[in-house]
């Protein structure tokens, strides 16, 4: 791994542990034991590194929503999608934990985020419509139906870490908190899911979470 990649990954690790606001270029070069000039050879500032880290978020979300999937969507694929979605948040938790300030500090990043957000909500709405077509979901009631379901899923998905941080400001967010967030997304969808499909999906989810806990 070259210095450029080391800087990117160390920045992600430091920000995930301490928060984006607490980490600047000084902390990054000290952790890597490199000179400031070495960092500035590759990056103009911390904001440029954060934009590159957001590239990973954008790519991961795009892959989640555009991956080839079987039709009808199986319970295993259904559970796996929402589990992977929270893992994207976990891997980049500094971003979602400090989202508002990061976007205020960088209008270029803010514009990109709004585009990714809109595309992802569209994708979540499309998934809900596919579940309905497959016969595994009832048509959502309410003013906007499928759109609202996609939006509510996104809100839980992206705000779960901040919610946990406000509940215990002195405690680090853990993978157990991530598992709880996946279950919360399932609870948003449960009122509309076919009961047999829901039970099958929850069995898959429990198995995956148990395996992840054992690995951790």
pLDDT tens-digit map of 125-165: 999 999 999 999 999 987 889 999 999 999 998 888 888 88
Same domain (yes/no): 71, 124 = yes
CATH code assigned at 152: 1.10.357.10
d(CA 115, CA 107): 12
The reply to whether 35 and 56 lie within a common domain is: no
Please compute the mean of the pLDDT values over residues 97-119 and round it to a whole number. 94
The residues that bridge with 193 in the sheet, in sequence order, are 137
Poorest-pLDDT segment among 2-6, 99-103, 173-177, 181-185: 173-177
Q: How many CB atoms lie within 10 A of CB 180?
A: 15
The pLDDT value recorded for residue 89 is 86
How confident is the model at residue 212, as a pLDDT? Answer: 63
pLDDT at 68: 64
* Token code pair at residue 77: 């694929």
- Classified as helix, coil or strand, 137 is strand
Residues 6+ apart with CB under 8 A from 82: 182, 185, 186, 205
Residues 61, 110 share a domain? yes
Task: Encode pLDDT of 67-102 as tens digits.
Answer: 766 678 889 888 888 888 888 888 998 998 889 999
Neighbour tally for 5: CB within 10 Å = 10
Query: How many Cβ atoms are within 10 Å of 123's Cβ, its own excluded?
Result: 17
Say whether pLDDT at 119 is over 80. yes
Q: What is the pTM (predicted TM-score) of this model? A: 0.87
Same domain, 128 and 37: no
Axis crossing angle, helix 46-66 with helix 107-133, rounded to the nearest 10? 10
Residues 65 and 91 in one domain: yes
Cα 188 to Cα 127: distance, rounded to the nearest angstrom: 14
pLDDT recorded at residue 160: 86
Mean pLDDT of all residues in 57-67 = 88
Count of domains forming the chain = 2
Greater pLDDT, 41 or 170: 41
Tell me which residue range forms the domain holding 3. 1-43
CA distance 143 to 90: 32
Average pLDDT value for the chain: 89
Q: Cα(61)–Cα(105) distance, rounded to whole angstroms?
A: 23
Within this chain, do residues 141 and 35 fall inside the same structural domain, yes or no?
no
| pLDDT-wise least confident of 15-19, 25-29, 175-179 | 175-179
Query: Whole-angstrom Cα distance, residue 15 to residue 17?
Result: 5
Q: pLDDT at position 4, please?
A: 95
């Amino acid at each position: 791994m070259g210095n450029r990649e080391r800087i990117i990954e160390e920045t992600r690790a430091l920000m995930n542990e301490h928060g984006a606001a607490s980490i600047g270029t000084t902390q990054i070069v000290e952790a890597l034991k490199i000179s400031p000039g070495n960092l500035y050879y590759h990056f103009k500032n911390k904001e440029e590194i954060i934009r590159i880290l957001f590239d990973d978020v954008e790519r991961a979300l795009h892959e989640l929503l555009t991956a080839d999937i079987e039709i009808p969507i199986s319970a295993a694929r259904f559970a796996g999608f929402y589990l992977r979605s929270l893992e994207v948040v976990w891997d980049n938790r500094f971003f979602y934990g400090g989202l508002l300030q990061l976007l205020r500090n960088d209008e270029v990043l803010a514009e990109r985020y709004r585009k990714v957000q809109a595309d992802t909500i569209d994708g979540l709405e499309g998934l809900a419509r596919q579940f309905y077509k497959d016969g595994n979901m009832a048509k959502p009631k309410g003013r906007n139906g499928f759109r609202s379901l996609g939006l509510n899923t996104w809100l839980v998905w992206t705000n779960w870490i901040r919610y946990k941080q406000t509940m215990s400001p002195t405690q680090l967010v853990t993978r157990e908190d991530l598992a709880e967030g996946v279950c919360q997304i399932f609870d948003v969808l449960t009122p509309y899911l076919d009961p047999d499909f829901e039970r099958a999906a929850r069995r898959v989810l429990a198995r995956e979470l148990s395996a992840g806990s054992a690995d951790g």
